[in-house]
Chains A and B, each alone.
Chain A
């Protein structure tokens, strides 16, 4: 039973006056993640944009900004403390982090918390770069994307690591035997709400990887955030799927993929790729290969 727009509760769990850039994808995602979980939620926030833009009391729920890499460890302590005190029932423990905090610096801590079977919902907002520090590459930066640490120049065409070797956080979580993992996108909030609601019903660790196109970092008009997120799915750069007890299912199938150029041309970080047919073909091949590999894993 999928979530319908008119079924969504209209109550907001965020105060106005957040410090996000105009058109911030993370605020769209966080808004709906909290909507899905409701007020009985404690948020543990790894260092990143979200911790900064929600300061001065934006969330209406308890909100704990911790360090960059230790949010899964902190949530472990909270989980166990509430258990020993008999107060664990009825409370959602939500960890939110960016791709840097998740795929890079916090990977060890996340891996430990999943492997121990702690009960929490982990939501990673992936904007494919370190945007809190102004746009450095991360473990999820796509092939040939321009970032401040992978500039384009005579000796460099942007991010050199190929599409197939980008860190795939959903699969890393699944390799732990996690009870529930999914990919989602801020371009499809109803789908996101459904994934989060499902995760909340699971006992044990759950992981949701939310694709979040960042207009500031990617060089887009702020109005294009949602359009870019939807194009990422339509071109197959992002595949929305869930993994329930090891069983994979595409949650938003794309009948005919659009050419990747449509997605890239919105973004200044790919300007040099769009201008170079050979590079564009190379990126298309990488996306095709990755897309095929993901679909091949579906049951």
Chain B
């Protein structure tokens, strides 16, 4: 095990290389581009025996992965934002066909207004397409989770595609120390393609794929896909445990910091949870019992793990780096669902922060705690970032909280 100084894109590419991917579909989009550039370099340098499909669009990128997967190859691609939206149709196709493709996503918001900066809008609008979704909070996690994604996606109990999301620029471009594994260790973690992943398209055993299914049987197949995704949580748990025993590094579906005695727990995805930890430590020094629960596995949603993590809390603050227009942040409904039947049902409030790459500083987190510490008072969704007629005031229905006035 050596320590390298890598950015998130490099970490994702190195993990894919060590996973011995056979086909990589490459198409550029900021801030993901370096991932496929690194992989191109590995192939050019003979460090990776793979074919690069330099496709002409993201739609084709994921389609090429589907083709490669249909003949039993391990495949990888990377995308984000508009590119991920262009792929949208193929996302469902990949999960419906049960292709265990792994995709890295350097999270970036959706146009317009044009922004190349991070938020989780792009992956969250695609949360229900039958893919496993993992969210990294550090470059180390990017590396670890890409390996875990391959392992879980290919497990015979799962056989579903997986995406590993990490915040654009904040993680994709910033370098951090990463403890890497040797190729041998990765080989043990990810054995060569298992027999159940034999080619589906094989002239020696001809089959027909992708055909119509009449309504009588459709629910059976949908249920099966849903169950496989649910079961992947336990499979991920096993993978995390195996990973810990080999590397000493701990991964979990929900990572908690100071939640045991916390009265207020902050819940969210991605790198902002590192900031939240920092802010929580500061607030604790001031005597406020604040904990942080980072949701690392978002699909399947770790309902029980989350409920356990916040069991003692009076108030739960859900930070959403995204917005489900006309409703609330997109993580918020998942959290409320998980806690609705909890024995001590806490107040759950939603904060829309850091959309379009707006910095989330410890001050942002402190502001959320300040607004939410009193619990529910007739309002559940707050926009501490947004300026408007009611400058800096929490959003209330009927009050425009938009910089356009």
Contacts of A79 in B (CB 8 A): 67
How many A-B residue pairs have C-beta atoms within 8 angstroms? Tell me: 143
Alpha-carbon distance A204/B7, docked complex (angstroms): 38
Across the interface, do A59 and B208 meet the contact criterion of CB distance under 8 Å? yes
Shortest beta-carbon distance from A52 to chain B in Å: 7
Q: Does B305 contact A (CB under 8 A)?
A: no
Q: Which of A55, A59, A80 contacts B51 (CB 8 A)?
A: A80
Q: Is B50 an interface residue (CB 8 A)?
A: yes
Q: Does B42 contact A (CB under 8 A)?
A: no
The reply to whether B22 and A66 form a contact with Cβ atoms under 8 Å apart is no
Q: Is the CB of A60 within 8 A of B67?
A: no
- B206 at the A interface (CB under 8 A): yes
Taking A109-B56, A112-B60 as contacts, is the C-beta distance between A59 and B206 under 8 angstroms?
yes
The CA of A2 and the CA of B207, in the complex, are separated in Å by: 33
**Bound-state Cα–Cα, A222 to B51, Å:** 47
Q: Which residues of B contact A80 (CB under 8 A)?
A: 23, 51-53, 64, 68
> Across the interface, which residues of A come within 8 angstroms of B306, CB to CB?
none
Determine whether the beta carbon of B25 is less than 8 Å from that of A77.
Answer: yes
Specify which chain B residues have a CB less than 8 angstroms from the CB of A77 in the assembled complex: 23, 25, 53, 63-70, 73, 75
CB 8 Å contact bits of B210-235 with A (1 = contact, 0 = none):
11100000000000000000000000
CB under 8 Å from chain A, chain B span 23-45: 23, 25
Chain A residues with CB below 8 A from B55, complex form: 73, 76, 112
Is A285's CB within 8 Å of the partner chain B? no
Q: Is B60 touching A78 in the complex (CB atoms < 8 A)?
A: no
Question: B202, A62: Cβ atoms under 8 Å?
Answer: yes
Query: How far apart are the CA atoms of A80 and B63 in the complex, in Å?
Result: 13
Q: Which of B60, B68, B210 contacts A109 (CB 8 A)?
A: B60
Complex Cα spacing A62 to B207, Å = 5
Contact B90 A81 (CB under 8 A): no
Pairwise interchain contact A81-B23, C-beta atoms closer than 8 A: yes
- Check: B5 CB closer than 8 A to any chain A CB: no
Do residues B206 and A76 form an inter-chain contact, with CB atoms below 8 A?
Answer: no
Inter-subunit contact A65/B23 (CB<8 Å): no
Which chain B positions have C-beta within 8 A of A81? 22-23, 51, 67-69, 71-73, 75
Q: Report if A111-B211 is in contact (Cβ < 8 Å); known contacts: A70-B63, A84-B49, A84-B51.
A: no
Which residues of chain A in 47-74 are interfacial with respect to chain B, using CB atoms and an 8 Å cutoff? 51-52, 54-57, 59-67, 69-70, 72-74
Interface pairs (9), CB distance under 8 Å? A42-B201, A62-B209, A79-B67, A80-B51, A81-B69, A84-B49, A87-B71, A108-B60, A112-B57
Q: Can you name 19 extra interface pairs (CB under 8 A) apart from A66-B63, A111-B56?
A: A39-B203, A42-B203, A55-B208, A64-B208, A65-B211, A66-B66, A66-B93, A70-B59, A73-B60, A76-B55, A77-B65, A80-B23, A81-B71, A81-B75, A108-B56, A109-B60, A112-B55, A115-B56, A116-B54
Name A residues whose Cβ lies closer than 8 Å to a Cβ of B.
39-42, 44, 51-52, 54-57, 59-67, 69-70, 72-85, 87, 91, 108-109, 111-112, 115-116
Per CB-CB distance, the 3 closest pairs between chain A and chain B, nearest first, are A77-B67, A112-B56, A73-B60
